[in-house]
Structure 1
Amino acid sequence: MATDATINQLEGLTERPAGLSVQGALARDLRNVPLARLTVADLRVLLLEGEGLAHVVPLALDIVTDDPDASSGAFRGDLLAAVERVPSGFWLTHPDLRRRVEKIQAARLRAAFGD
């Protein structure tokens, strides 16, 4: 994946609808940030707003694979929680990414409750 590229460069520009929430407007602005410069907080916003999921989900999974409790500051594990809220339609077309999430969830449960 070209991490020096932005979501807009990879997917093309999209119209900015009127009346966006503050978080929605932020997500639209983040489409212009190179993927390599996105923070955990940025990834969480993009995930929750459904922006650039094909590019953002793999980045988020790289982080939560190493640290399932990675946080943007909202609560411990908020990045994984945002990944888990990605619409089911995305997972149907990206089963390899879904399997990664399932492995992370299983490892987290094993760590919390033992084998």
Structure 2
Amino acid sequence: MINPSRSLEQLEGDSWGAPPADATRLISTAYALRRKPVGDLSAEDLRLLLGQHIGVETLVPLALTLLEDDPLAEGDFYPGDLLVAVLKAPATHWPAHPGDLDRVRRVVEALPGPLGPALQPPVDAFRAAHLG
């Protein structure tokens, strides 16, 4: 079980320190979010980190908990953007974490239809690659 009061840095035992002086806003935000307790991460925080493939092993289960309650949970972009970030986790994540795959399968099966143009292609690609 993941301790929600600990940050990714603490959970992974890997401190990134301060972002580079020339870091973009995205990079600076990712560095800051790695120091935030994972239980305090919002859907947008999870979307941003997962979109950068940061903390995938820790954050996919947390994102799936949100998605199980609301498959179209959204960050700052559009309904379902958190799901898209989860679906685009590295392909190696799913065989190594079959419980996560079962959970995401149930989330995808619960999606209302029809899906919009931002959501349908990643859902179809994930189904083809991982759900047969």
Superposed pair shares fold, TM > 0.5: yes
SS at match of 2:110: helix
- 5 Å matches for 1:1-115? 1-15=2-16, 18=20, 20-108=23-111, 111-112=112-113
Q: Which whole-Å CA distance do the structure 1 matches of 2:27 and 2:63 have between them?
A: 19
Q: Which whole-Å CA distance do the structure 1 matches of 2:27 and 2:53 have between them?
A: 9
Identity of aligned residues (%): 34
Note if contact 1:24-1:49 (Cα within 8 Å) is conserved in structure 2: no
Aligned CA-pair RMSD: 1.8
Structure 2: give runs of 5+ residues left out of the alignment: 115-132
Note if contact 2:16-2:31 (Cα within 8 Å) is conserved in structure 1: no
TM-score between both structures, scaled by the size of structure 1: 0.86
Structure 1: give runs of 5+ residues left out of the alignment: none
Higher helix fraction (1 or 2): 1
* Structure 1 outlier segments of 4+, above 6 Å: none
TM-score between both structures, scaled by the size of structure 2: 0.76
- 2:120 aligns with none
Q: Which whole-Å CA distance do the structure 2 matches of 1:20 and 1:56 have between them?
A: 23
Question: Aligned pairs, how many?
Answer: 111
- 2:130 aligns with none
